Structure 1
């Protein structure tokens, strides 16, 4: 139980550190302009991806399947992130 909490807190810390990058960039340039909603969506996407990969690593027995499933999760994250940022798929959720 303690190890799972440690893993969860490390994921939360990594997500916070990743979100700190655009926050700092916003202080120095007008090119990065995130709202609170953008930070919340990014945190949910990143933390959800980390938790899903941790679940796959814990529940899937073979390494090859773990790699394939985690790679698919990361591709899904990239596609969602790109769609929200620039609208590569042309959905109504596009950011541009």
Structure 2
């Protein structure tokens, strides 16, 4: 039963990566290459496994929510930086 969440995490990653793959078939607005899918897959995997670790490690619901929220916040910041370069780092996508 422990691996149920892990299976859900991996399935969710595949589903989320299918969204831009399908969108690329219908529009030119989405233009991802193998590198983009790889980076997003790694980001989603790290985020999912980090939250899984938090859920296994911490028992108090307040700790789980706070730490998971911080992980998601960091994920969204990295995603935004890679997508449009909100901080202007060398890794910016724009």
Bin for the TM-score computed over the shorter chain: over 0.9
**C-alpha RMSD of the superposition:** 0.9
Number of residue pairs matched by the alignment: 94
Question: What residue number does 2:76 align with?
Answer: 78
Measure the CA separation in 2 of the matches of 1:48 and 1:20: 18
Deviation at 1:10, TM superposition (A): 1.8
Deviation at 1:48, TM superposition (A): 1.1
Deviation at 1:60, TM superposition (A): 1.0
Question: What residue number does 2:45 align with?
Answer: 47
> Could you list the runs of 5+ residues in structure 1 that have no partner in the other structure?
none
Question: What residue number does 1:8 align with?
Answer: 6
Measure the CA separation in 2 of the matches of 1:5 and 1:53: 14
Deviation at 1:47, TM superposition (A): 1.4
Q: So what's the TM-score if we normalise by structure 2?
A: 0.95
Deviation at 1:38, TM superposition (A): 0.4
Q: So what's the TM-score if we normalise by structure 1?
A: 0.93
Q: State the 4+ residue runs in structure 1 displaced beyond 6 angstroms.
A: none
> Could you list the runs of 5+ residues in structure 2 that have no partner in the other structure?
none
